[in-house]
Structure 1
Amino acid sequence: MYQNNDTSLHGFILLGFSDHPKLEIVLSGVVTIFYLITLVGNTAIILASLLDSQLHTPMYFFLRNLSFLDLCFTTSIVPQMLVNLWGPEKTISYVGCIVQLYIYMWLGCSECLLLAVMSYDRFTAICKPLHYLVIMNSHLCHKMVIMVWSISLANSVLLCTLTLNLPRCGNNVLDHFLCELPAMVKIACVDTTTVEMSVFALGIVLVITPLILILISYGYIANAVLRMKSKAGQRKAMNTCGSHLTVVAIFYGTIIYMYLRPGNSASKDQGKFLTLFYTIITPSLNPLIYTLRNKDMKNALRKLFQANYKSTRSRRNWNP
């Protein structure tokens, strides 16, 4: 890998929101709160769906993967971000920046593909209910998840390696709060057309294609729901799909607005806030969205907290 002007020794400077010191104080509090919500909420969903045998279904298997992905996604960003927000040093080591860049790209792409897989699961459950468990068997579910993580990893390795091989001529100042691919491309001191075209092409394949598949799935789902004669059946179908559709709308809406808008249509700070939204706030909303609209998940979480409360209480009673 090409390195120049001792960038590997000095690392990178992350400007973030350093030109707004008062805003940094507010943001550090907001980021901390949402990070804690993400940790507690997603961990609770993973534990509840594992411990409750009624939730050992394909839908909750994919939901566990989404929660785990969100935990890793935010953890790859937030600790370093809080260090930079709290202290005068706005730096990240070269190795730290590279690790963050690869993980950020890998997990971001994984979420796009996983949401598409989850839409196929909902399509099968509603449009082919009698064959659902046969089609969405354990082998296929594991195979789909492995494929999601593998394709995303290959994409991350390809794009991040192309970006890191660009000569920077000693430039190590990133106008962002994380090591994001577009920010890394901007500090290159050569023509970056090839890399930008590669990013755009793979973005179409790995972002727009899953979105199109999601929309097609929900087109069939809407048609099937409208044909249902039972109002209770329609309500149940809308509840199971509503949570996923809400997450899709928030995640894809933010990403498409960010990356497909005209270059000069938004300020740099607006771009940072949008990145902040889909990398930190959206993962904290996912557990709330899935639990507020899902009776089975509410019951599983209630059992989890009751079991934890009883365990704590019994330990206290045994203490001399």
Structure 2
Amino acid sequence: TLLEKFYGKNPFYNVKNSEELIGHLIIGLAPHTSVGIVGRIIGYSETHVCFATPNWHSAKRRDADGDADSIMLLMDSLLNFSRQFLSDRIGGLMDAPLLVQPLVLPHESQPQAHNLEVTKFLPLEFFESTFNEIKASDIASVDIIKSRLETERQFYDYFFTHSTSSLTTSKSRSAYSTLGSMLDKFDMQVKNADLIDAVNTSEIVSNVISTHLVPDIMGNLRAYARQNFRCTACGKSYRRMPLIQTCICGHKLIATITRGSVEKYLKLAKRLVEKYDVSEYQRGRIHALSDEIELVFGKNKGDQSLLTDYA
């Protein structure tokens, strides 16, 4: 329509149904990024998911974890885009294809995408390695993308060991997108870990606490101490609360970071350190963070007071 009404040109796609879009180029864009990756539509599925090679998803810097993803027609992106459409606020440049990468070079993808097997069969040496409990990274008998990097075959001959009549199952959405809270998602992950003998559930919990929960709680607490205050009427932002405690326009100022956002993972962390066999250091670290949050905000109204509180 834009080509016809504004530029006086013939329609580019002029398709009658979705099947006629097969073969056309698209741009894939992951959340919170600004670089789109060119791809091509090769078909459709009855699932709420975007099937593509790991290299393509990795080039978008998007793990296949169930979070929202997006694709857009290439010509539509080129015609209906302008920097003037974007917000001038922080984050306004995200979620827009400011740059477009036309080619995906496997050696530029993230390392986890290089671990994909591209062989027609698994050799006997592989099964012997499993009996000897050799680390997957030390097995050289299976052809993976990593072994082809910087060669011509990094682009083609991606074989597979078993044929299938369908890429989908009876589930149209992943559990990650149907489960509500992060607590539900993590509980499901722990339940799966408990079912696998080769997985140490306590080790997984310990890693999640160290790499996600503790840094998140500490970062949110630090952000709370450095937060700005915003006017509810004019939107003016203040680096510090003025002495008059109101905006220059006379309206109320509110905090931009709430207590709930600071301690959103605290209850989960406290439950994990009590339920699973984690180190005393981690257990003490979580309780120390809990005490620090109480010093900043005070006790929640629903928290029960202890006799030691009055000592």
TM-score by length of 2: 0.26
Structure (1/2) with the larger helix percentage: 1
Relative contact order higher in (CA < 8 Å, ≥ 6 apart): 1
Larger radius of gyration: 2
TM-score by length of 1: 0.25
